[in-house]
Amino acid sequence: MNKIYNPKKSDWKSVLRRPTQSVADIEDTVNLVFKEIQEGRDTMLHKYTQKFDGVTVDSFLVDSLKVEEASNLVSEELKTAIQLAKGNIESFHKVQKTDRVEIETSKGVLCWQEKRPIQKVGLYIPGGTAPLFSTILMLAVPANIAGCKEIVLCTPPDSEGKINPAILYTADLCGVTKIFKVGGIQAIAGMTFGTESIPQVYKIFGPGNQYVTVAKQIATKHGVAIDMPAGPSELLVVADDSANAAFVASDLLSQAEHGVDSQVILVSTSKDMIDQVEREVEKQMEALPRKDIAQKAIDNSKLIYVDNDQVAIDLINEYGPEHYIICVENEDFYVDNTQNAGSVFIGNYTPESAGDYASGTNHTLPTNGYAKQYSGVNLDSFMKSMTFQKISTEGIKKIGNAIEVMAEAEGLQAHKNAVTLRLESLK
């Protein structure tokens, strides 16, 4: 890992740079795939599934029989774990429900807000080097609690054209309505435009590689909403001498094994802790089945020493980590002063992997600094807030003149007339 001591504030931007390609590097590829799928639909889905995934599939839709068979291929131990996680995720997202908000702003002017579910949502579940069935829990569970009527799931097939049984089992358990064997850019394009197989959706959720991230951003140009620009995974740990170096190293490696473009950072006010963690990373790395992937991510990662807590928190807020672990004696200072983070994990016994799987919080989070302006996925992500108002005769008399004066000042006579006619009818 790269050790950096007391970086100057003017250098923070370069020190904290993510190991990602710019949108311009891959936007042309994404636009081409989108154009061809918009015009060629399933024919082009087949073309790009063969090109990018190296497999030909007879049908993109996974039939119900395959889903039933998948259940028998998942161990009872894993099913129990998935069910436990599902229960905790349901509990946490159910308490996010809010009641109708209502107020009489003036006498006779009643305004209220209600939330309604997004009717059609698309879930993208990465396959690739790791079949992320846990992401189905994070997306399908709140989608069902919200009341979404159509929940479409796309995930890439393996080299044999199959879907991991745990993905199929979890999707069925969580109420996904349709499952499709299609991944990458072509999956996002399919859900954006709709094809003979894949229905068009109103909003797309889920993480993915840099190509998927750009594809989701391009989808917004075609009238489809997205949860956030979620790209390669990242983790920042702040630790002092009160932390356990082995625990810190295990957390860094847990994110590093996601992919070669993942990034992990340790910020510390202790040089000794930095040295201990570096040794632990090297030691634990040797036992990892995904060592080659983790090593490449570690090569892009940083161990940063700073003199004090204030500099540390300023640096952390500048980075805006997706996942953020606080293992320090003065944890209240960091918790209270954290402004930019996707999800925060506090204390030596709160590993980031708890949030990835079973604690109940959502693991679909903003990356690449987007934590400065985006929230992670939550129940409201699957809903729309709608406002309503009802004005009585007393109410229109109360606010009517103000509306007339303001409309006239803006030069919008028809707006004024819509009120004037009503007021005159009441004389």
Which tens digit of pLDDT belongs to each residue from 82-133?
999 999 999 999 999 999 999 999 999 999 999 999 999 999 998 866 788 9
Residue 295 within any structural domain of the chain:
yes
Q: Binding residue per annotation — 408?
A: no
Find the CATH number of the domain harbouring 401.
Answer: 1.20.5.1300
Could you tell me if 80 and 194 lie in one domain? yes
Percent with pLDDT over 70 in the chain: 99
Q: Binding residue per annotation — 292?
A: no
Q: Would you say the pTM of this structure is higher than 0.75?
A: yes
pLDDT at 233 (0 to 100): 85
pLDDT in tens, 146-193: 999 999 999 999 888 899 999 999 999 999 999 999 999 999 999 999
Could you tell me if 84 and 220 lie in one domain? yes
Please identify every residue annotated as catalytic: 322-323
The residue among 233 and 47 whose pLDDT is bigger is: 47
Residue 385 within any structural domain of the chain:
no
Q: Which two tokens stand for residue 132?
A: 């992320």
Could you tell me if 294 and 356 lie in one domain? yes
The whole-number average pLDDT for the span 310-320 is 97
pLDDT at 250 (0 to 100): 95
Under DSSP, the state recorded for 55 is: -
Could you tell me if 29 and 172 lie in one domain? yes
pLDDT at 22 (0 to 100): 62
pLDDT in tens, 34-45: 999 999 999 999
Burial 36-69 (b: 16+ CB within 10 A, else e): bbbeebbebbbebbeebbeeebeebebeeeebee
Could you tell me if 247 and 207 lie in one domain? no
Could you tell me if 165 and 187 lie in one domain? yes
Find the CATH number of the domain harbouring 38.
Answer: 3.40.50.1980
**CA 398/CA 109 separation, integer angstroms:** 9
Could you tell me if 6 and 92 lie in one domain? no
Amino acid type, 149: K
- E strand segments, 75-128: 101-106, 109-117, 120-124
pLDDT in tens, 375-407: 999 999 999 999 999 999 999 999 999 999 999
Q: Which of 199, 229, 259 is the last residue of a domain?
A: 229
Could you tell me if 309 and 199 lie in one domain? no
Could you tell me if 154 and 238 lie in one domain? no
pLDDT at 314 over 90: yes
Could you tell me if 166 and 240 lie in one domain? no
Q: Give the total number of structural domains in the chain.
A: 3
pLDDT at 20 over 70: no
Q: Binding residue per annotation — 349?
A: no
Domain of 409? 392-425
The whole-number average pLDDT for the span 216-229 is 94
Could you tell me if 157 and 62 lie in one domain? yes
* CA nearest to 109, candidates 387, 421, 424, 397: 397
Q: Binding residue per annotation — 415?
A: yes
Could you tell me if 220 and 346 lie in one domain? no
Q: Which two tokens stand for residue 34?
A: 């989108």
Residue 180 within any structural domain of the chain:
yes
Q: Binding residue per annotation — 255?
A: yes
Percent with pLDDT over 90 in the chain: 83
Q: Binding residue per annotation — 373?
A: no
